């Protein structure tokens, strides 16, 4: 202890001494004087990057952002430090080349942003169609001043270099001095990087690794760090697919060799040639269906659809880090999310056998609609890979400020504008299949003032001694994240209700089938669920654990509570044979085979099953290795399970299902990474 104390005092003394020396000997002034070129390089790099953010994302946040400036500074200092390894007379050449490269990055991104309201990705360069698009962008945009003004960086560098040359600045330096300067500078760069990293939140780190929201990353990390990160993310899938192809192909052939199309069942072709309206219900959960607060239904529209249609009440999404995009992948292809990265961002250029492609072959017009930036989750590119004829993204919607809720355009406005588009589609095309991706019910569910009035408290009527009646409110879920989620869901449900009404008014429900899925759960805190099920109005607290009515909302309850709705509905389904509840466990990967049977197509390489074929024997596997059947929920990390039908299962059962899960996840990943569907007969 004493030793540590003395080291600390020693370090403090040394720092004070050093700072005094800095002051006495004017070291800062001297540093600036002797490192003019390096500092000019760093300054112009930061200037260009700041200018790019300023000219692209016009929000006050961006003008004042401190984090990206710090990231740019760290990057420029680290890159610039290598300049000291060169002899002074050659140093300018190094800085100049680097400056040109960085200027090029700024210019390309500036042009790209004008067209796509996002930033460019190296991975896209492998797509010829992308090059075509950027080619157009360049020719149409080349004279815009804002795109070429980044040349100011190299110009300043040349001017400073000329001035320094005149002043005879470039003195000979021995190798040791150069190395010393390099080491000191790179250490300084490392210190800035460390400080920057310490300022990052887990959300920022998470988004940085996933790289799907490019604007967000540039806003926090600056353009240079974004581009380096993008380069690594783009190269990784290439490296992954370089090794192991032969083994993967053998396993793939083995897996599918005996697979045969199941015999027809009573649902075969029932929806053939119908128009299909698919709704991607952002963060919608099954446990909201039927829930009431103060006698008011939380989700009247979902309640109605589930009561009148085919309701799959034991349905799970199977997402990994790619959340919304993972569900879109699995829904459309019956493949699982990839083990590293996300299919939408890293493997967009693979061959996919998808529902849109099958329906196109049947003569359908196939579209998708989402009022968010087209590059979110790389949808602009990936929806093409999945076979959609057209993606109606934010660019095709009128996004008014007053219509914003949460991440972007409100679901109400999105749906209202979508109906207008659908009317036109319906006029032009004899049959169509379209996906509407909702947005408002998105974490963090904090736009409470926009969701409308839906109290999640408990109101109680109390009769006073004088006979008057007063209403008292117990806060219950008010002010909790789950409470806010409920308000948000209520809003989304109302939007959905309006959409269905508007479709009906426009005559678009007459020959149509509506399909709704929740894309994943709302990732809500466990403790909020505990409050939901254990609230004590007398204390305004969660009941004690020893209370006989206490519900232990444990790991399994949480996992099982992550179910999402899957509903197939049409205007005239109520009261028919199709109006039913399917309670067998089902996953997003079972949708393609189930719908395929109803719509008249078959994908041999689907990993899920037609639920009406497999029924109670189904298994839903999750990307983390967990699985759920009608009998058990299995936690693969802890290698333990929860029985769902109160019967014990044998070790062989667990082993067989675990092996199946592992194999399926492996084959699915290999299909995507090694592009194994490229050569199969479709």
The binding site for Mn ion (CB under 5 A) comprises 282, 323-324, 519
The answer to whether 563 touches 314, Cβ cutoff 8 Å, is yes
Instruction: Kindly tell me which of 37 and 564 has the beta carbon lying closer to ligand GP9.
Output: 564
Which two structure tokens, joined as six digits, stand for 276? 């299909």
Cα 486 to Cα 1, 79, 158, 283, 550, distances in angstroms:
54, 49, 60, 11, 22
Binding segment (CB under 6 A) for ligand GP9, from list 6-14, 156-164, 194-202, 369-377: 369-377
Q: Which residue, 72 or 519, has its beta carbon nearer to Mn ion?
A: 519
3-state SS class at 298: coil
Residue 77 half-sphere exposure toward CB, CA atoms < 13 A: 18
Could you tell me if 520 and 437 are in contact, meaning their C-beta atoms sit under 8 angstroms apart? Answer: no
For ligand GP9, which stretch binds (CB under 6 A), given 32-40, 121-129, 435-443, 547-555? Answer: 435-443
Instruction: Determine the Cα–Cα distance for residues 349 and 470; give it in Å rounded to an integer.
Output: 64
For Mn ion, give the closer residue by CB, 241 or 443: 443
Long-range own/partner contacts, residues 46-50 (CB < 8 A, 24 or more apart): 46/72, 46/73, 46/76, 47/152, 47/153, 48/102, 48/103, 48/106, 48/150, 48/152, 48/153, 49/102, 49/106, 49/222, 49/223, 49/224
Q: Which one, 225 or 515, has the nearer CB to Mn ion?
A: 515
Per CB under 6 A, the segment of 234-242, 259-267, 437-445, 470-478 that binds ligand GP9 is: 437-445
Regarding 181 and contact with ligand GP9 (CB under 6 A), the answer is no
Give min distance, CB of 216 to ligand GP9, in A: 11
Residue carrying the six token digits 């690794």? 209
Q: Does 436 bind ligand GP9 (CB under 6 A)?
A: no
Three-class SS of 593-631: HHHHHHHCCCCCCCCCCCHHHHHHHCEEECCCCCEEECC
Where on the phi/psi map is residue 144: left (φ > 0), alpha (ψ -120 to 50), or beta? beta
Q: Which listed option, ligand GP9, Mn ion, none, makes contact with residue 372 (CB within 5 to 8 Å by class)? A: ligand GP9
Nearest distance from residue 615's CB to Mn ion, in Å? Answer: 29
Any contact of residue 414 with ligand GP9 (CB under 6 A)?
no
**Bridging pattern class, strands 566-569 and 512-518:** antiparallel
Q: Is there a cis peptide before residue 252, judged by omega within 30 degrees of 0?
A: no
With respect to ligand GP9, which residue has the nearer C-beta, 255 or 348? 348
Q: Please, what's the b/e burial string for 35-61 (b: 16 or more CB within 10 A of its CB; e: otherwise)?
A: bebbbbbbbbbbbbbbbbbebbbeeee
Instruction: Work out whether 323 is an interface residue with ligand GP9 (CB under 6 A).
Output: yes
Residue 465, helix vs strand vs coil: coil
Beta-carbon count within 10 A of 89 CB: 12
Binding ligand GP9 (rule: CB under 6 A), the pick from 109, 372, 410, 597 is: 372
Handedness of CA 356, 359, 363, 364 (dihedral sign): negative
CB of 204 to ligand GP9, least distance (A): 15
Nearest residue (CB) to Mn ion, 519 versus 584: 519
Supply φ then ψ for residue 319, to 5 degrees.
Answer: -85, 155
Beta bridge partners of 573: none
Q: Closest CB to ligand GP9 among 237 and 408?
A: 408
Q: Minimum CB separation from ligand GP9 for residue 585, in Å?
A: 23
Least CB distance from residue 519 to Mn ion, whole Å? 4
Rounded Cα gap, residues 289 and 300, in angstroms: 8
Q: Which residues are registered as beta bridge partners of 365? A: 432
Residue 501 to residue 228: CA distance in whole angstroms: 48
Selection from Mn ion, ligand GP9, none that 432 binds (CB < 5 to 8 A by kind) is: none
Residue 233 contact, options ligand GP9, Mn ion, none, Cβ 5-8 Å cut-off depending on partner type? none
CA distance 45 to 105: 11
- Tell the smallest beta-carbon distance from residue 496 to Mn ion (Å): 15
CB of 520 to ligand GP9, least distance (A): 7
Q: Provide the minimum distance between the beta carbon of 444 and Mn ion in the complex, in angstroms, as a whole number.
A: 13
Given Mn ion, ligand GP9, none, residue 641, with its beta carbon under 5 to 8 Å by kind, binds none
Least distance (Å) between residue 377 CB and ligand GP9: 6
Residue 376's binding partner among ligand GP9, Mn ion, none (Cβ under 5 to 8 angstroms by kind) is ligand GP9
Q: Whole-angstrom Cα distance, residue 480 to residue 445? A: 10
Distance CA 407, CA 615 (A): 38
376 lines the binding site for ligand GP9 (CB under 6 A): yes
- For Mn ion, which is the closer residue by CB, 157 or 437? 437
Measured from the CB of residue 609, what is the shortest distance to Mn ion in angstroms?
Answer: 25
Beta strands 566-569; 310-312: pairing state: antiparallel
Q: How far is the CB of 525 from Mn ion (least distance, A)?
A: 18
Q: Of all helices (H) and strands (E), which one includes residue 57?
A: none
Closest CB to ligand GP9 among 502 and 521? 521
Residue nearest Mn ion by beta-carbon distance = 324
- Closer to ligand GP9 by Cβ: residue 91 or 442: 442
Question: Shortest approach of ligand GP9 to residue 523 CB, angstroms?
Answer: 9
The binder of 304, among Mn ion, ligand GP9, none, by C-beta within 5 to 8 A per type, is none
Please say whether the beta carbons of 85 and 176 come within 8 A.
no
Among 412, 431, 442, 531, binds ligand GP9 (CB under 6 A): 442
To ligand GP9, the closest distance from the beta carbon of 411 in angstroms equals 12
Q: Within positions 95 to 134, which residues make up the interface with ligand GP9, using CB under 6 A?
A: none
Nearer to ligand GP9, 390 or 663 (CB): 390
Taking the least distance from each CB to Mn ion, the nearer of 44 and 317 is 317
Of 391 and 601, the one with the shorter C-beta distance to ligand GP9 is 391
CB of 522 to ligand GP9, least distance (A): 10
150/377 with CB nearer ligand GP9: 377
Within residues 221-280, the interface with ligand GP9 by CB under 6 A covers none
Return the structure tokens found at 431.
């049959």
- Please report whether residue 324 would count as binding ligand GP9 according to CB under 6 A: yes
Nearer to ligand GP9, 93 or 624 (CB): 624
Q: Is 318 in the site for ligand GP9 (CB under 6 A)?
A: no
As a dihedral over the C-alpha atoms of residue 548, residue 551, residue 552, residue 557, rounded to 10 degrees, the angle is 150
Spatial contact of 439 and 409, defined as CB atoms under 8 Å apart: yes
Number of residues forming the site for ligand GP9 (CB under 6 A): 8
CB of 326 to Mn ion, least distance (A): 9
Footprint on this chain of ligand GP9 (rule: CB under 6 A): 323-324, 372, 376-377, 437, 439, 442
């Amino acid at each position: 202890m004493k030793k540590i104390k003395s080291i600390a005092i020693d370090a403090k003394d040394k720092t004070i001494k050093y700072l005094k020396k800095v002051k006495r000997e004017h070291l800062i002034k001297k540093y600036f004087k002797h490192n003019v070129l390096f500092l000019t390089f760093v300054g112009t790099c930061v200037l260009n990057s700041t200018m790019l953010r300023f000219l692209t994302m016009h929000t006050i946040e961006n003008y004042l952002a401190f984090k990206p400036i710090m990231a740019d500074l760290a990057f420029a200092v680290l890159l610039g430090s290598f300049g000291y390894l060169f002899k002074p007379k050659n140093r300018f050449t190094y800085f100049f080349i680097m400056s040109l490269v960085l200027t090029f990055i700024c210019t390309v991104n500036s042009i790209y942003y004008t067209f796509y309201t996002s930033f460019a990705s190296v991975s896209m360069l492998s797509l010829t169609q992308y090059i075509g698009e950027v080619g157009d962008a360049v020719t149409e945009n080349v004279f815009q001043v804002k795109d070429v003004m980044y040349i100011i960086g190299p110009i300043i560098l040349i001017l400073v270099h000329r001035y320094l040359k005149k002043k005879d600045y470039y003195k000979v330096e021995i190798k040791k001095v150069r190395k010393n300067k390099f080491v000191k500078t790179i250490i300084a760069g490392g210190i800035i990087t460390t400080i920057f990293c310490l300022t990052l939140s887990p959300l920022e780190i998470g988004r940085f690794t996933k790289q799907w929201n490019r604007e967000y990353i540039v806003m926090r990390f600056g353009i240079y760090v974004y581009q380096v990160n993008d380069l690594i993310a783009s190269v990784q899938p290439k490296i992954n697919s370089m090794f192991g192809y032969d083994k993967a192909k053998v396993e793939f052939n083995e897996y599918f060799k005996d697979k045969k199309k199941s015999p027809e069942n009573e649902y075969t072709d029932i929806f053939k040639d119908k128009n299909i309206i698919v709704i991607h219900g952002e963060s919608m959960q099954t446990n909201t269906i039927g829930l009431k607060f103060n006698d008011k239904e939380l989700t009247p529209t979902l309640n109605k659809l589930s009561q009148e249609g085919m309701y799959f009440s034991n349905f799970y999404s199977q997402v990994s880090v790619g959340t919304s995009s993972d569900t879109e992948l699995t829904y459309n292809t019956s493949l699982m999310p990839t083990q590293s990265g996300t299919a939408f961002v890293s493997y967009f250029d693979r061959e996919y056998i998808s529902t849109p492609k099958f329906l196109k072959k049947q003569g359908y017009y196939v579209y998708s609609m989402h009022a968010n930036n087209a590059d979110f989750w790389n949808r602009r590119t990936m929806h093409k890979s999945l076979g959609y004829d057209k993606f109606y993204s934010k660019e095709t919607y009128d996004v008014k400020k007053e219509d914003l809720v949460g991440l972007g355009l409100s679901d109400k406005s999105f749906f209202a504008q979508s109906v207008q588009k659908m009317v036109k589609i319906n006029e032009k095309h004899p049959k169509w299949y379209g996906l509407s991706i909702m947005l408002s019910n998105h974490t963090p569910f904090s736009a409470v003032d926009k969701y409308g009035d839906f109290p999640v408290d408990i109101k109680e009527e109390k009769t006073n001694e004088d006979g008057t009646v007063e209403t008292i409110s117990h806060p219950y879920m008010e002010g909790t994240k789950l409470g806010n989620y409920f308000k948000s869901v209520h809003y989304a449900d109302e939007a959905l209700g309006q959409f269905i009404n508007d479709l009906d008014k426009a005559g678009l429900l007459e020959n149509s089938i509506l399909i709704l899925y929740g894309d994943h759960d709302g990732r809500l805190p466990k403790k909020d669920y505990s409050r939901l099920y254990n609230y004590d109005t007398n204390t305004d607290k969660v009941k004690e654990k020893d209370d006989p009515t206490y519900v232990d909302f444990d790991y399994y309850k949480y996992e099982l509570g992550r179910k999402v709705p899957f509903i197939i509905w049409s205007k005239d389904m109520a009261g028919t044979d199709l109006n039913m509840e399917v309670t067998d466990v089902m996953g997003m990967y079972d949708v393609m085979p189930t719908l395929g049977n109803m719509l008249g197509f078959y994908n041999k390489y689907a990993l899920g099953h037609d639920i009406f074929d497999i029924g109670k024997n189904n298994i839903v596997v999750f990307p983390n290795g967990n699985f759920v059947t009608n009998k058990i929920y299995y936690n693969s990390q802890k290698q333990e399970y929860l029985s769902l039908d109160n019967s014990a299962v044998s070790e062989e059962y667990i082993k067989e299902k675990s092996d199946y899960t592992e194999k399926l996840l492996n084959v699915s990943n290999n299909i995507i990474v090694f592009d194994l569907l490229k050569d199969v007969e479709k």
